[in-house]
């Protein structure tokens, strides 16, 4: 095997507006200082750069930042506030320091044949996270991973690559975190100390060495920057955060109606019902089977009347069939992928022989997006994009397939990882074009960096295995750390038959994941919430209702994700970086800022051990208080998922409904868990249009402060253009004993029960260790003072 050739001596260099250009023997390296915490490195082996194209990056122009240069012998230092980049001009190498501490050492660029590579030191204490959708534990150290979007089933411990290719990772040492985004869509590899224990490297089969180094001082600022670079997730429609029910496939239409009716009959909330491939006529996309679904419009309208949002699946492969309009249009518009010699590339998927649309072409995306929009016009509420790696039953797509506009073609080698991203883009743009005010919902299986701009992602065909329930946590966390917050797995497992105990455990966990969908494969046992007997149905109903109550909180988490790039699902270490014990915890996680979720992922377990980091923790079910750090053995009978709330949390919720928008909620509840002084921002908008983009939303700051023996709860002035409906506010202050409650200095009346509290406009009652205070909501600031204190902890 020929070794990679590293870069030698810098012959000359120039300072530019954005950084430096280094001339070497033949190669040129450009260093861009995009911000004080974001650097980009580009290498050309020929002395000339190809045109600067990225499908992931949306922010191309950055305001130049000032920096100093200091040349000492062969060492050039680039000095920024808080950051020093040292370039060794003898053997081209880059090292980065934050203040005095080295955060990235000996970055070395190299090449071999068409391949390009970068390697750097991997410190002993370094752990690796991110890299999108990968099987395995949270920390990727010691592994080699490949990015080549693949229909990968079954999911085994060594299955790789997977459906998504997101070449972004975080390296965390005990002192610092950095992020690296290798924006090269060819087949890429990442070696995190597998080949050489103390080296990290990444390389691509072809294309340019082009990567970004994020040096922000914490993971939050790195993720925020990454989202700025590759795009924020738009706010999802609120209904899409409810329960979604799917099966491969519900048909004929009578069966779809029955499943939908069963949810309502059994008092189990649900918003979405999916139509998998059997709704189509011979799996021809954008058609309906005339026998199974004779009146699609009517079905979709009837489902909508019951509060269901139907979502049909769409696969990319277009059946080769002379009598099929979509196929004819594809030929006429020249929308399908061709090989270099001009032949259409033929593949095989569900409908038999197919051509694949070339989503790298704007004209194809437009055409496809119009068909997606037609489905919405018929009454579908969103679009589910599947098989978009693209999956081909005949094997890999030929490398000599080319993509993109004439004159700007790229090889399949470069386009492969982008296919799912561009299909999602076609869908998203089609929906936004036709329905500018309608907030799209798109679900995708495949994607590349930036996929968060268009779609939610589910992690493909898992199995109804306990191992896959356990594996969902690190997989979802690493996706969340790769810029994709709206993510979930098939609850209950897709392949194989689920069993009652597994389903009960999975639904409890699914309720605390961003995308909450039950889905199951053809020929497996039924997998609806009522399919596993009354005990499990009861558990499922309870957790699904819990999810609906918590929707205001979950929506706030999405606001943070959408506006600030912060993941909804977070590893514990994100909040407890200094506590190294948290660094590899991947059987528990944080769901938003408040919840610590510790799923049960083994059969027959009615307890589990877990680690609570520093601070006050409330057991969500009993309000028992724990002071961390400590190890706890949590009781977990089948009906209970161990769940804790961080002390200081403020959690908004509302009364449960059968589906989002069924009624206008008459109250907003804030559960307050006093500990240290704390603050929370509650976000609201209409939940379904795009008006929030023009500022039609509002936020309310809620805080809880301790003052001697009293608590002061401030509900700030509502800020912004959105006006919620008239409602009351119910504050539930946990573990609290009181003698007196006042609103803006005026004493409130104590009532004798929770029921009585419902009947008054203002009042309070102490009940089961919780102080409940009811007041009317308004857009002005209010102060509730509570005389009394917090109870003790264990
Ligand atoms: C793929 C999808 C799965 C879907 C099936 C049939 O396997 O991953 O979710 O049900 O195709 O469309």
CA 248 / ligand 1 centre spacing (Å): 7
CB 77 within 8 A of CB 89: no
Atom 5, ligand 1: residue with shortest CA distance: 248
* Cα gap 786→763, rounded to integer Å: 12
**Average pLDDT for 761-790:** 91
Q: Which atom of ligand 1 is nearest to the CA of 315?
A: 12
389 is catalytic: yes
Helix (H, G, I), strand (E, B) or coil at 597: strand
* Structure tokens that stand for 466 in this block: 């306990």
Location of structure tokens 């016009």: 377
Digit-coded pLDDT (tens) for 678-710: 999 999 999 999 999 999 999 999 999 988 788
CA 295 / ligand 1 centre spacing (Å): 24
For ligand 1, pick from 150, 163, 246, 248 the residue to mutate: most ligand atoms within 8 Å of CB. Answer: 248
Residue 193 phi/psi, 5-degree rounding, is 85, 15
Q: What is the DSSP letter of 235?
A: P
Q: What is the separation of C-alpha 501 from the centre of its chain, rounded to a whole number of angstroms?
A: 27
pLDDT of 29 higher than 60? yes
pLDDT of 366 higher than 50? yes
String of DSSP letters for 771-793: EEEEEE--SS-EEEEEEEEEPP-
CB 236 within 8 A of CB 486: yes
How many other C-beta atoms are found inside a 10 Å radius of the C-beta of residue 295? 12
The pTM (predicted TM-score) of the whole model is 0.97
Q: Which atom of ligand 1 is nearest to the CA of 247?
A: 10
777 is catalytic: no
For ligand 1, pick from 275, 284, 386, 464 the residue to mutate: most ligand atoms within 8 Å of CB. Answer: 386
pLDDT of residue 791: 53
Annotated catalytic residue within 220, 389, 501, 537: 389
Atom 3, ligand 1: residue with shortest CA distance: 461
Nearest CA to 357 out of 395, 324, 401 is that of 401
CA 150 / ligand 1 centre spacing (Å): 13
pLDDT of residue 1: 46
Average pLDDT, the chain: 96
CA 494 / ligand 1 centre spacing (Å): 9
Digit-coded pLDDT (tens) for 182-225: 999 999 999 999 999 999 999 999 999 999 999 998 999 999 99
Q: Which atom of ligand 1 is nearest to the CA of 246?
A: 10
Q: Which atom of ligand 1 is nearest to the CA of 460?
A: 8
pLDDT of residue 637: 98
Q: Which atom of ligand 1 is nearest to the CA of 313?
A: 12
* Cα gap 168→447, rounded to integer Å: 13
pLDDT band, very low/low/confident/very high, at 794 (cuts 50, 70, 90): very low
Atom 10, ligand 1: residue with shortest CA distance: 248
pLDDT of residue 487: 98
Backbone CA torsion sign across 260, 262, 264, 268: negative
* Structure tokens that stand for 175 in this block: 């002192």
Helix or strand holding residue 49 (H, E): none
Atom 7, ligand 1: residue with shortest CA distance: 461
pLDDT of 176 higher than 80? yes
Q: Which atom of ligand 1 is nearest to the CA of 277?
A: 12
pLDDT band, very low/low/confident/very high, at 255 (cuts 50, 70, 90): very high
Digit-coded pLDDT (tens) for 57-111: 999 999 999 999 999 999 999 999 999 999 999 999 999 998 778 888 889 999 9
For ligand 1, pick from 245, 317, 387 the residue to mutate: most ligand atoms within 8 Å of CB. Answer: 387
Whole-angstrom CA distances from 295 to 289, 298, 317, 448 are: 10, 5, 25, 37
Residue 758 burial by CB count (10 A; 0-12/13-18/19+): exposed, middle or buried? Answer: middle
CA 598 / ligand 1 centre spacing (Å): 29
pLDDT band, very low/low/confident/very high, at 2 (cuts 50, 70, 90): low
* Cα gap 204→323, rounded to integer Å: 42
Q: What is the DSSP letter of 398?
A: P
CA 631 / ligand 1 centre spacing (Å): 41
CA 352 / ligand 1 centre spacing (Å): 16
Digit-coded pLDDT (tens) for 655-683: 999 999 999 999 999 999 999 899 999 99
CA 386 / ligand 1 centre spacing (Å): 7
CB 694 within 8 A of CB 736: no
Nearest CA to 419 out of 315, 319, 506 is that of 315
* Cα gap 121→332, rounded to integer Å: 54
For 42, residues 6+ apart whose C-beta sits below 8 A from its C-beta are: 29, 30, 32, 49, 208, 209, 210
* Cα gap 273→481, rounded to integer Å: 29
* Structure tokens that stand for 180 in this block: 């690296």
**Extended strands (E) in 307-461:** 309-314, 318-319, 338-339, 346-349, 352-355, 383-385, 401-403, 410-411, 442-444, 447-448, 456-458
Q: What is the separation of C-alpha 256 from the centre of its chain, rounded to a whole number of angstroms?
A: 29
Q: Phi/psi class of residue 603: alpha, beta or left (left: φ > 0; alpha: ψ in -120 to 50)? A: beta
**Average pLDDT for 156-165:** 98
Helix (H, G, I), strand (E, B) or coil at 313: strand
Q: What is the DSSP letter of 237?
A: P
**Average pLDDT for 595-620:** 98
Q: Which atom of ligand 1 is nearest to the CA of 249?
A: 10
* Cα gap 601→473, rounded to integer Å: 10
Helix or strand holding residue 706 (H, E): strand 698-707
Share above pLDDT 90 across residues of the chain, in percent, rounded to a whole number = 93
Digit-coded pLDDT (tens) for 726-758: 999 999 999 987 889 999 999 999 999 999 999
671 is catalytic: no
CA 315 / ligand 1 centre spacing (Å): 10
String of DSSP letters for 596-641: EE----STT-SEEEEEEEEEEEEETTT--EEEEEEEEEEE--TT--
3-state secondary structure 107-139: EEEEEECCEEEEEEECCCCCEEEECCCCCCCCC
Q: Which atom of ligand 1 is nearest to the CA of 391?
A: 1
CA 245 / ligand 1 centre spacing (Å): 14
Annotated catalytic residue within 386, 490, 528, 654: 386
* Cα gap 170→226, rounded to integer Å: 11
* Cα gap 308→301, rounded to integer Å: 9
pLDDT band, very low/low/confident/very high, at 272 (cuts 50, 70, 90): very high
**Average pLDDT for 648-660:** 98
Residues flanking ligand 1, CB < 6 Å: 248, 276-277, 313, 386, 445, 460-461, 519
Atom 4, ligand 1: residue with shortest CA distance: 248
pLDDT of residue 105: 83
pLDDT of residue 137: 97
Nearest CA to 455 out of 477, 426, 493, 414 is that of 426
pLDDT of residue 409: 95
pLDDT band, very low/low/confident/very high, at 793 (cuts 50, 70, 90): very low
Helix (H, G, I), strand (E, B) or coil at 15: strand
pLDDT of 788 higher than 80? no
Secondary structure percentages of the chain, helix, strand, coil, to 5: 20, 35, 45
Digit-coded pLDDT (tens) for 386-420: 999 999 999 989 889 999 998 999 999 999 999 99
For ligand 1, pick from 315, 391, 494, 520 the residue to mutate: most ligand atoms within 8 Å of CB. Answer: 494
């Amino acid at each position: 095997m020929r070794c990679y050739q590293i870069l030698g001596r810098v012959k000359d260099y120039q300072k530019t507006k954005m950084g430096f250009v280094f001339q070497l023997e033949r190669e040129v390296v450009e260093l861009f200082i995009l911000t004080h915490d974001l650097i980009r490195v580009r290498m050309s082996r020929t002395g000339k750069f190809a045109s600067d194209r990225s499908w992931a990056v949306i922010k191309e122009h950055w305001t130049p930042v000032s920096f100093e240069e200091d040349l000492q012998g062969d060492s050039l230092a680039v000095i920024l506030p808080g950051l020093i980049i040292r370039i060794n001009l003898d053997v081209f190498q880059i090292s980065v320091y934050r203040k005095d501490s080295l955060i990235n050492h000996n970055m070395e660029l190299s090449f071999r044949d068409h391949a390009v590579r970068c390697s750097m030191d991997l410190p002993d204490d370094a752990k690796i996270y991110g890299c999108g959708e990968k099987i395995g534990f949270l920390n990727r150290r010691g592994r080699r991973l490949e990015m080549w979007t693949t229909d990968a089933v079954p999911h085994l411990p060594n299955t790789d690559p997977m459906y998504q290719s997101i070449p972004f990772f975080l390296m965390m040492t005990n002192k610092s975190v950095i992020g690296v985004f290798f924006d090269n869509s060819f087949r890429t590899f990442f070696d995190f100390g597998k080949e050489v224990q103390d080296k990290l490297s990444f390389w691509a089969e072809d294309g340019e060495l082009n990567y970004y180094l994020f040096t922000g001082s914490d993971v939050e600022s790195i993720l925020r920057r990454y989202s700025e670079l590759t795009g924020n997730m738009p706010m999802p429609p609120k209904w899409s955060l409810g329960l979604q029910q799917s099966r491969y496939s519900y048909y004929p239409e009578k069966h779809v109606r029955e499943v939908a009716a069963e949810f309502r009959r059994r008092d189990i909330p649900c918003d979405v019902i999916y139509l998998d491939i059997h709704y189509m006529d011979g799996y021809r996309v954008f058609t309906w089977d005339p026998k199974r679904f004779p009146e699609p419009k009517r079905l979709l309208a009837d489902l909508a009347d019951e509060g269901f949002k139907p979502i049909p699946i769409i696969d990319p492969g277009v059946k080769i069939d002379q009598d099929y309009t979509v196929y004819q249009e594809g030929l006429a518009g020249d929308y399908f992928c061709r090989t270099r010699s001009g032949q259409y590339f033929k593949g095989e998927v569900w409908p038999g022989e197919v051509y694949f649309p070339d989503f790298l072409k704007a004209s194809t995306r437009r055409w496809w997006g119009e068909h997606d929009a037609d489905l919405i016009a018929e009454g579908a509420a969103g679009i589910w994009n599947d098989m978009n790696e693209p999956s081909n039953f005949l094997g890999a797509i030929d490398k000599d397939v080319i993509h993109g506009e004439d004159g700007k073609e790229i090889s399949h080698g470069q386009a492969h990882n982008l296919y799912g991203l561009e299909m999602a883009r076609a869908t998203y743009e089609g929906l936004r074009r036709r329905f500018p005010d309608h907030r799209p919902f798109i679900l995708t299986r495949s994607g590349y960096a930036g996929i968060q701009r268009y779609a939610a992602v589910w992690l493909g065909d898992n199995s109804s295995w306990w191992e896959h329930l356990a594996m969902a946590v690190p997989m979802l966390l690493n996706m969340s750390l790769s810029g994709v917050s709206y993510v979930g797995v098939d609850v209950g497992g897709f392949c194989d038959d689920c069993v009652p105990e597994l389903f009960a455990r999975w639904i409890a966990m699914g309720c605390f994941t961003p995308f909450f969908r039950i889905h199951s494969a053809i020929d497996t046992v039924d997998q609806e919430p009522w399919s596993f007997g009354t005990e499990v149905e009861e558990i499922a109903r309870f957790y699904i209702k819990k999810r609906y109550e918590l929707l205001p909180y979950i929506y706030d988490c999405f606001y943070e994700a959408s506006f600030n790039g912060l993941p909804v699902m977070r590893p514990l270490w994100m909040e407890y970086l200094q506590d190294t014990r948290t660094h590899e915890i991947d059987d528990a996680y944080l769901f938003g800022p408040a919840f610590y979720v510790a799923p049960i992922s083994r059969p027959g377990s009615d307890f589990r051990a877990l680690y609570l980091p520093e601070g006050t923790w409330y057991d969500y079910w009993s309000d028992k208080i724990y002071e961390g750090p400590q190890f706890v053995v949590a009781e977990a009978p089948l009906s209970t998922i161990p769940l804790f709330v961080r002390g200081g949390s403020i959690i908004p919720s509302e009364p449960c409904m059968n589906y989002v928008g069924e009624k206008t909620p008459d109250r907003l509840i804030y559960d307050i868990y006093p500990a240290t002084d704390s603050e929370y921002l509650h976000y609201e908008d209409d939940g379904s249009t795009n008006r929030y983009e023009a500022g039609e939303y509002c936020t309310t700051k809620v805080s809880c402060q301790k003052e001697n023996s009293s608590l002061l709860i401030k509900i700030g002035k509502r800020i912004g253009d959105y006006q919620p409906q008239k409602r009351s506010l119910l504050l539930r202050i946990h573990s609290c004993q009181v003698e007196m409650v006042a609103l803006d200095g005026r004493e409130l009346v104590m009532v004798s029960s929770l029921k009585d509290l419902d009947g008054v406009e203002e009042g309070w009652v102490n009940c089961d260790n919780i102080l409940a205070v009811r007041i009317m909501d308004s857009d002005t600031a209010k102060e509730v003072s509570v005389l009394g204190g917090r109870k003790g902890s264990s």
